[in-house]
Chain A
């Protein structure tokens, strides 16, 4: 049981909004000391609003924001001592790197020698000490990000907040800077919360992911857990490539883990596993990840698989095959149901062409039953 002291940030019943609309209602969230947490979701889900509230850029309508055990809800931005790296880094264009990093210290009237020491140390930490006298416009995106981090860290903040740290970079640069960022965050071992809409970024950088949709938390767990055990169809589709088969619940085992479902439109029953509670009255999905579906073109093998226990099967027609390098994507249809199969290209033969009949199969226990 983690004691309250182990939480850096606690959000209690937080309600946030602009104008007439409430974007977030009754949000509860606790961030552990030292962890890297990401707020992940599509645009409009409220992730940036939440981050801004922690920083103090927005005042909550209801609820509390507690940082290091102290209620900061009504404390103004400039007194909260949080560090924030903004989208686009927001380095002051009219100041040198050194003056950017020393800005917060100068405000506090810290003595000049101390400023020099602390700034130099911070710049060394991010590897930018040689650029102290350059102006921001002379730096690359990655360099600017490092200066922005130095600028926040020199103030010894309680937590570090980052708003879409990698979003305005092109793909190649993003890889490089992503690695850099993870290394720096680990070294600093400061509680960090960042906002992103990119699931790969979230999975790479975070200890835990908070998946958000329409102002609510859809699921909060480690990347691996969400990926393997998504709580609902939204989580499954956001984090990983999944096939969804609409179905209605027929029977459930005593412990609720094994379900039999009536597949809508196919007139057959398939089995799946439920890792989270399932609402029988609602429409459900039987889900199976694209890369967990196997196939055969041989009808005899298919008939034999159909008879085997613990195997789900489906007969489809190939619609298209896409070569993507080390994997290939096969799109198929069974009536109105589309399925996507992702397999290593070496294992996809040339016989798989549009129009071919293809027999899909996968282990029953890998089919997860999910609510919408």
Chain B
């Protein structure tokens, strides 16, 4: 009985994704599953489509930069929270994790209005900053756990031996938390790369990202090209999940408990 339910569950959870992958191989210009044949032509078409490539490029740049920004800010904050005295730790953590509980819709809207007020046009920089806002809670949380797991006496030993605080972080702390850093980086990257709602409020034709491209495309036509594109994205996500779970396990994932 349990096995049956489990199998049904796996089927349910995976079916949209598997169906997308399957539909990508359909030779004809019809969106269907199972595909009536196996063809790679849609993949080729997607990889040569300038609009898709531009969007992919934008998404990659934005995600990389948002990842770096949120990692840097997050690491400094996480270190201070883990090692500094505990004054207002709960409050500060609450503030830094607040984007988790504010609906993305509200965040996107607020930032858009602010930009309009300040007469700033959207460009990739704006997008990076907006994405970094929602990536920050993840990096802070993961890196805080990472720093806390390191024995503070190791850092004290380094200080007593003459190293500065910064030197200690670089020589002792960071090398010992490699796994946390990798996990935090991948999380941040994916959250930015996959982001739809906030981007919906902020992108225009020159700053198109991949998820928005798909979203717009789907409104007007349904063909396997999108399935091919989506397949590539699914594979990227699987790779990331694989890396994260081997590096730090999947226990830190999911909604705030």
Contacts and interface: CB of A to CB of B under 8 A. Distances in A.
Nearest to A161: B160
Contact of B163 (A82, A90, A107): A107
Nearest to B87: A19
B153 A55 contact: no
Interface of A is mostly: loop
Contacts of A87: 153
B160 A78 contact: yes
Nearest to B150: A93
B172 to A, nearest CB: 6
A78 B154 contact: no
A326 B192 CA distance: 73
Interface in A36-65: 55-57
A84 B167 contact: no
B158 to A, nearest CB: 7
Contacts of B114: none
Nearest to A106: B171
Contact of B176 (A94, A108, A155): A94
B11 interface: no
Interface in A159-189: none
B96 to A, nearest CB: 23
Interface string B152-189: 01101111111110010001100110000000000000
A151 B154 CA distance: 13
Contacts of A55: 156, 160
Interface of B is mostly: helix
Given A78-B162, A104-B162, A107-B163, A90 B157 contact: yes
B151 interface: yes
Interface string A89-114: 01011100000000110011000000
Nearest to A84: B160
A57 B172 contact: no
Nearest to A56: B160
B87 to A, nearest CB: 9
B159 A90 contact: no
Contacts of A88: 151, 153
Interface residues of B, number: 17
B156 A108 contact: no
A86 interface: yes
B161 A90 contact: no
B180 to A, nearest CB: 14
Question: Which size class do A's interface residues fall under?
Answer: 20 to 34
A94 B175 contact: yes
Contact of A90 (B154, B162, B167): B154
B160 A82 contact: yes
A77 interface: yes
B176 A84 contact: no
Given A92-B172, A94-B175, A78 B153 contact: no
Contact of B161 (A57, A93, A94, A104): A104
Interface string B106-118: 0000000000000
A93 B154 CA distance: 9
Interface in A60-80: 77-80
A86 B171 CA distance: 19
A230 interface: no
Contacts of B153: 86-88, 90
A83 interface: yes
B176 A78 contact: no
Nearest to B156: A57
Contacts of A108: 162
A152 B156 CA distance: 13
A253 to B, nearest CB: 52
Given A90-B157, A92-B154, 10 more contacts: A56-B160, A78-B159, A78-B163, A80-B160, A87-B153, A104-B162, A104-B163, A107-B161, A151-B157, A151-B161
Sorted nearest first, the 9 A-B pairs with minimum C-beta distance are A104-B161, A90-B153, A90-B157, A86-B153, A77-B159, A84-B160, A107-B162, A78-B162, A107-B163
8 contacts: A55-B160, A56-B160, A78-B161, A82-B160, A84-B160, A103-B163, A152-B160, A152-B161
Interface of A: 55-57, 77-84, 86-88, 90, 92-94, 103-104, 107-108, 151-152, 155
